[in-house]
Chains A and B, each alone.
Chain A
Amino acid sequence: MFNLTQQERIVLLFIAGVILVGSLLQIVSKQSAGFRDFLELTERIETKL
């Protein structure tokens, strides 16, 4: 399944690291202000309108 060369393994680790750091930075930058539940959100808006 993961029959990779050493170089390819490093590249894969690098990709994983980039995704991990990118996702965490994005989460922190959005200040964890809330979670979007689309259905719940639209229902609430419609009720309000």
Chain B
Amino acid sequence: MRRHLPFVWIVIVFIGGIMTHVGQIAWLSVLAISASLLLATAFFFRREQKLFGVLMLCLFLILGWLCTHSRWLFAADHIYFQKSKMDSSQIVARGIVDGEVRSTNRLSFVFSLKEIEINGHWQRTSGKILVNLFQDLKVRYGDDMVLTGKLHAPFEFSKSKKFSYRKYLGRQGIYFVLSVKKIAKVQILRHNQSNPLLTQLYTWRHSASATLSKHLRPYEAALMQAMVLGERTRIPQFLKDIFAKTGTAHILAISGLNVGIVVAVLFLILRMLPGPIKLTYILTLGFVAFYVLLTGASPSVVRAGIMAAVFLASFMIERETDSINSLAFAAFLLLVIDPQNFLDIGFQLSFLSVLAILLFYSYFMKLCEPFLKEHPNIVLKFLFESFAVSLAATLGVAGLIAYYFHMVTPISLVANIFVVPLSTLALILGIGMLVLDWFAPLFAICVRLVLNGMVWIMAFCQQLPMAYIILKDVNAWSVISYYCFVVLLWLFLRDIAASAGPDAD
């Protein structure tokens, strides 16, 4: 006879409720156990297609929580806890310079803490801080230093409520800034206390930057340093404004486009050499890793590198992969590395632009097909293709740009048609200038021609009527409505393409 035990189930669920209310740690235990059980169950039912799918979805939902939570904790000796023990904001800290040293009117670098002095005693400390050092010293990556200064929370510079400098630094694990004055005590104890490979890469980066400065005018060098090496600090404000107002600021950062160009050029060069194609892919992948490190491995460059590596790897394993799946895998990888990437504006913009290009480009070209068949012309085809890419990317990012930067840039549709090929040319010439040192003056002349032409065209575009529209404020609901419209447009175009022919995708 089947037993009637409703209260057994009720008490189990009730205990579950009590445990979840005890606190975050209880939540953690419940979720960790659930994830382990789901993993085991999914392994057991791996032959049941539907059940396996549902179990894996539930599992990855919990893993997203656990992964974020694991980054959300401070170690017991983190500067956050040490800070609460301090009586004053004036501190003496020992640590290692953990990144490139940027020099403007001060030296600025990330400092990985080892110890801080609290009430006359040195205590082991972990965590990273940003140091602003107002002294004329030769500080390099890997230097072991003792610094005396004032520790404070980062200041908010942006007037926009939607961008917080504090949160931006927080996403990189930096919550405090140490300001070291001109007269403060600074000691460099030892050099080269970090990764020797990175030390060498920073040296190369520094010499590449110097080569660009030597052969080009200051603003031209600043543009090339941004495009080739990812150093954006020296770009004059008027140039930043021109590129922002024409919706082409993406070329000033090392984005997927820049990494893609570098990878494509290298791949074509390597293909000319004898050897199996797999070796070419492996060498190109190796170069992507090198380039990411050389350019300072900032989050945007790492993102572009991972995207390029995922696409290259999918070609290498000779598997017919869906580009959207490769893009999703790249996003997944980046989110596992750091779940806070999801909140990064650059992450959102780059993935949405690539996704929009993948979704819309083929449909736009399908619409142009009858016209292009009637007028077979390579230049016309190139212009249509460039416009289709530009339109798709603009559709993808316009909502977010309006939300974050209070601006719509209709001129970007035209500006990108010019700026993308010109920046590609400048990038190739710039790399040529760095690699073939003997011919650097010759390359420099070409680079200057291309860069000045590009800036002139952008300045002209910016002055056109309705080139950019400043918006007062855009709320989240407007952005959601816009993206609903974009989805409807995509469904509409898909239907048109499907009725036009079976080879639409």
Q: Which residues of A contact B (CB under 8 A)?
A: 1-3, 6, 9-10, 12-13, 16-17, 19-20, 22-24, 26-27, 29-36, 38, 41-42, 44-46, 48-49
Contact = CB atoms under 8 A, between A and B. Distances in A.
A16 B67 contact: no
Contact of A16 (B39, B89, B170): B39
Contacts, number: 100
Interface in B67-113: 67, 69-76, 78, 80-81, 83-84, 89
Nearest to B173: A36
A34 B73 contact: yes
Contacts of B69: 23, 27
A10 B42 CA distance: 10
A13 B46 contact: yes
Nearest to B332: A15
B25 interface: yes
Interface of B: 24-25, 28, 32, 35-36, 39, 42-43, 46-47, 49-50, 52-53, 56, 59-60, 63, 66-67, 69-76, 78, 80-81, 83-84, 89, 152-153, 166-167, 170, 175-176, 336
Contact of A30 (B43, B50, B67, B73): B73
Counting from the closest, the 9 A-B pairs by CB-CB distance are A2-B53, A26-B70, A33-B76, A23-B70, A23-B66, A30-B73, A42-B153, A30-B75, A31-B76
A13 B74 contact: no
Contact of B39 (A2, A17, A32, A44): A17
B167 A30 contact: no
A22 B176 CA distance: 27
B175 A20 contact: no
Contacts of A2: 49-50, 52-53, 56
Q: Which of B35, B36, B42, B73 has the most CB of A within 10 A?
A: B73
Nearest to A34: B74
B369 to A, nearest CB: 31
Contacts of B78: 33
10 contacts: A1-B53, A2-B49, A12-B56, A19-B67, A20-B35, A27-B28, A32-B28, A33-B73, A33-B81, A34-B81
A1 B336 CA distance: 21
Given A20-B35, A27-B70, A49-B153, 12 more contacts: A6-B46, A9-B46, A16-B42, A16-B63, A20-B66, A30-B74, A31-B75, A34-B81, A36-B80, A45-B152, A46-B153, A48-B89
Contacts of A38: 166-167, 170, 175
A15 B388 CA distance: 37
A8 B198 CA distance: 35
Given A16-B59, A23-B69, A41 B175 contact: yes
SS of B interface (majority): helix
Contacts of B84: 44, 48
B409 to A, nearest CB: 32
A12 B67 CA distance: 16
Contacts of A1: 53
A19 B170 CA distance: 23
A33 B80 CA distance: 11
A10 B74 contact: no
Given A2-B56, A9-B46, A20 B73 contact: no
A32 B63 contact: no
Contacts of B66: 19-20, 23-24, 27
A43 to B, nearest CB: 9
A44 B78 CA distance: 16
Nearest to B63: A19
Contacts of A33: 73-76, 78, 81
Given A38-B167, A38-B175, A20 B36 contact: yes
Contacts of B176: 45
Nearest to B88: A49
A41 B70 contact: no
Contacts of B52: 2, 9
A16 B42 CA distance: 11
Nearest to A46: B153
A47 B417 CA distance: 51
Given A10-B46, A42-B153, A20 B39 contact: yes
A9 to B, nearest CB: 5
B250 to A, nearest CB: 28
B42 A35 contact: no
A1 B57 CA distance: 10
Contact of A35 (B24, B47, B76, B175): B24
Nearest to B75: A30
B75 to A, nearest CB: 5
